[in-house]
Amino acid sequence: MKYDLVYLVIGALLGVFMRYKMTGSPLFMGSLPISVLLVNVIGSFVLGASSTAVTSLGLDERYTLLIGIGFCGSLTTMSGFAFETVNLIDVGQVATAALDIILNVCASLGAILLGRAVITLLLGLG
């Protein structure tokens, strides 16, 4: 409890640095913005894997603070996703906006499940 804030800060600094590097020069696939999609999917995978590892291995809950809340919380971005999607709607690219919504939500949920499955397989829990 005494050092909880340190774990959060370290994780957050690492996550925000990675997010800055990955979204600093936006990537597009046609008109579909994929930089934010990538950080959301990577963060979801890491969260699924780390939460499963912490629970399954009985690790110190500070790993959840470090990785789950600090790192993944500052890496992933709902506001960036929402902003990009609304911008697509504003310029009349409603179909691309819909694709952005579907990809961000479904790929992030899938990445959580994949992260859990990978750790379960690696730990021989399944």
Q: Which of the 8 DSSP states describes residue 12? A: H
Q: Are the C-beta atoms of 66 and 10 separated by less than 8 Å?
A: yes
pLDDT digits (tens, 9 = 90+) for 50-63: 999 999 999 999 99
- Chain Cα centroid distance, residue 29: 19
119 vs 30: CA distance, rounded Å: 34
Query: Helix, strand or coil for residue 29?
Result: strand
pLDDT tens by residue, 22-78: 999 889 999 999 999 999 999 999 999 999 999 999 999 999 999 999 999 999 999
Ranges of each domain in the chain: 4-122
Residue 93: helix, strand or coil by DSSP?
Answer: coil
- Which residue type, as a one-letter code, is found at position 54? V
Greatest alpha-carbon pair distance for the chain in Å reads: 51
